[in-house]
């Protein structure tokens, strides 16, 4: 029986491509990639709707090394889509033998994304993957050169599609036809495409020689400020505070107002704060507390999960001063 590996991003296009091939009586196994910037949760929901098996590949470390210096550059934010897709295809190609599969399918649509899915970019991705003769794009196949899989009769070209451009109507009609109702928006899924996150990641890459997994995780939460060379993070909500706490240890410094409720403020490990930096963190803690209108607010601080031994009485930072230190 013919077998295909379907690269499942968790979006609608990739699951439609998998379903289209499954409808031809071909066994389809979903392959989802997990990194510091996207995960498998959407892919699990999507594959369940069409009844195919899902295998998750964690390539976080190699992917991050590529993100820092992609051969084909970043997109609008810090998204190296061409290099990312090529890497995923290379990994998928290397898994063909393991799963006894004949070829790879993706949900890419010609000209849907002007930079990463134009004809030239699609060709680059195929070539760079090292498995160009094993890649099929079912949703736009009729707009592309016939593949070896079609020539050999593994796939019926007449049952493939010719979708092109940014109009999502053909995909939505297919989803309705096949009863696929639970799918995310096209823009969701990858943190690297989010403008605010991209600014934070670029900043930390420019400031630190060694960026840790914890550093990357903390970029998702709160308001971020820089004092000299020290990062200060202020939680926006109680829920964010709990998410931040989940990765903290005794090397992190936490700041809390003594008499007023407010946001959680931290200086993550790996920073070497001066007294000026500590004072700024205290002033931020005062600003984002119920005491923000007070003349002076006491803030206690110390290593996370220990009894705080230090305290400063500070004036809450002004809006004008905030702009000086704010990253995003």
Q: Report if residue 205 sits inside a domain.
A: no
Query: Do 67 and 45 touch, CB atoms closer than 8 A?
Result: no
| Separation between Cα atoms, residue 289 and residue 299, nearest integer Å | 10
Q: Report if residue 212 sits inside a domain.
A: no
Q: Report if residue 25 sits inside a domain.
A: yes
Q: What pLDDT score was predicted for residue 75?
A: 85
User: Which residue range(s) make up the domain with 235?
Assistant: 221-325
| Distant-in-sequence, close-in-space partners of 220: CB < 8 Å, separation ≥ 6 | 191, 197, 243
Q: Report if residue 77 sits inside a domain.
A: yes
| Separation between Cα atoms, residue 263 and residue 235, nearest integer Å | 6
Q: Report if residue 214 sits inside a domain.
A: no
As a three-state string, the secondary structure of 128-160 is: HHCCHHHEECCCCHHHCCCCHHHHCCCCCHHHC
Same domain for 290 and 236, yes or no, is yes
Tokens of 86: 């090529």
Q: What pLDDT score was predicted for residue 113?
A: 67
Tokens of 156: 């019926």
Q: What pLDDT score was predicted for residue 187?
A: 58
| Distant-in-sequence, close-in-space partners of 120: CB < 8 Å, separation ≥ 6 | none
Same domain for 255 and 187, yes or no, is no
Q: Report if residue 202 sits inside a domain.
A: no
Helix (H, G, I), strand (E, B) or coil at 233: strand
Same domain for 115 and 253, yes or no, is no
CATH number, domain containing residue 127 = 3.40.50.620
Same domain for 260 and 116, yes or no, is no
Q: How many structural domains does the chain have? A: 2
Same domain for 61 and 139, yes or no, is yes
| Separation between Cα atoms, residue 281 and residue 271, nearest integer Å | 13
Q: What pLDDT score was predicted for residue 116?
A: 58
Q: What pLDDT score was predicted for residue 131?
A: 83
Which residue ranges of the chain lie beneath pLDDT 70? 113-123, 186-188
Among 143, 176, 191, identify where a domain stops: 191
Largest separation between any pair of C-alpha atoms in the chain: 78
Give phi and psi for 162, each to the nearest 5: -130, 40
| Separation between Cα atoms, residue 53 and residue 55, nearest integer Å | 7
Query: Do 230 and 271 touch, CB atoms closer than 8 A?
Result: yes
Q: Report if residue 216 sits inside a domain.
A: no
Q: What pLDDT score was predicted for residue 128?
A: 77
Angle between helix axes 12-22 and 169-177 (nearest 10 degrees) is: 50
The percent helix, strand, coil of the chain (3-state, each to 5) is: 40, 20, 40
Angle between helix axes 12-22 and 41-50 (nearest 10 degrees) is: 30
- In terms of DSSP bridges, do strands 103-105 and 297-303 run parallel, antiparallel, or are they unpaired? unpaired
Tell me how far CA of residue 81 lies from CA of 72, 76, 78, 144, 213, in angstroms. 9, 10, 9, 20, 21
State the pTM of this model: 0.86
Q: What pLDDT score was predicted for residue 17?
A: 97
Same domain for 55 and 186, yes or no, is yes
Helix locations, the chain, DSSP H = 12-22, 41-50, 60-68, 81-99, 119-129, 148-151, 169-177, 195-207, 213-218, 238-245, 275-287, 319-325
Same domain for 59 and 171, yes or no, is yes
Same domain for 122 and 231, yes or no, is no
Nearest CA to 222 out of 206, 202, 242 is that of 242
Same domain for 186 and 231, yes or no, is no
Same domain for 103 and 12, yes or no, is yes
Same domain for 187 and 226, yes or no, is no
Q: Report if residue 207 sits inside a domain.
A: no
Same domain for 263 and 152, yes or no, is no
Residue with tokens 């000026």: 276
Helix (H, G, I), strand (E, B) or coil at 274: coil
């Amino acid at each position: 029986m013919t077998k295909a590996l379907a690269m499942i991003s968790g979006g609608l296009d990739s699951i439609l491509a998998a379903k289209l091939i499954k409808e031809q009586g071909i066994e389809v196994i979903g392959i989802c990639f997990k990194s510091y910037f996207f995960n498998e949760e959407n892919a699990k929901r999507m594959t369940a709707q069409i009844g195919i098996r899902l295998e998750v590949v964690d390539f976080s470390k190699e992917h991050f090394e590529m993100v820092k210096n992609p051969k084909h550059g970043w997109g609008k934010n810090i998204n190296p889509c061409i290099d990312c897709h090529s890497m995923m295809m290379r990994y998928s190609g290397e898994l063909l033998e393991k799963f006894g599969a004949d070829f790879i399918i993706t949900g890419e649509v010609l000209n849907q994304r002007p930079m990463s899915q134009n004809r030239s970019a699609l060709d680059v991705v195929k070539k760079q993957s090292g498995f160009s003769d094993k890649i099929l794009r079912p949703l736009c196949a009729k707009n592309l050169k016939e593949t070896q899989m079609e020539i050999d009769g593994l796939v019926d070209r007449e049952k493939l599609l010719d979708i092109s451009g940014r109009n999502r109507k053909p995909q939505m009609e297919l989803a309705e036809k096949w009863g696929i109702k639970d799918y995310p928006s096209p823009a969701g899924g990858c943190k690297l495409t989010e403008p605010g996150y991209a600014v934070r990641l670029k900043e930390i890459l420019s400031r630190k020689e060694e960026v840790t997994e914890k550093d990357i995780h903390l970029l998702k939460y709160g308001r971020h400020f820089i004092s000299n060379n020290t990062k200060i993070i202020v939680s926006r909500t109680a829920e964010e505070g709990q998410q931040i706490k989940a990765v903290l240890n005794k090397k992190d410094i936490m700041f809390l107002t003594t008499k007023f409720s407010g946001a959680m403020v931290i200086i993550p490990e790996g920073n070497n704060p001066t007294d000026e930096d500590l004072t700024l963190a205290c002033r931020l803690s005062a600003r984002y507390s119920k005491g923000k209108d007070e003349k002076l607010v006491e803030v206690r601080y110390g290593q996370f999960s220990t009894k705080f031994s230090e305290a400063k009485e500070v004036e809450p930072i002004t809006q004008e001063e905030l702009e000086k230190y704010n990253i995003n």
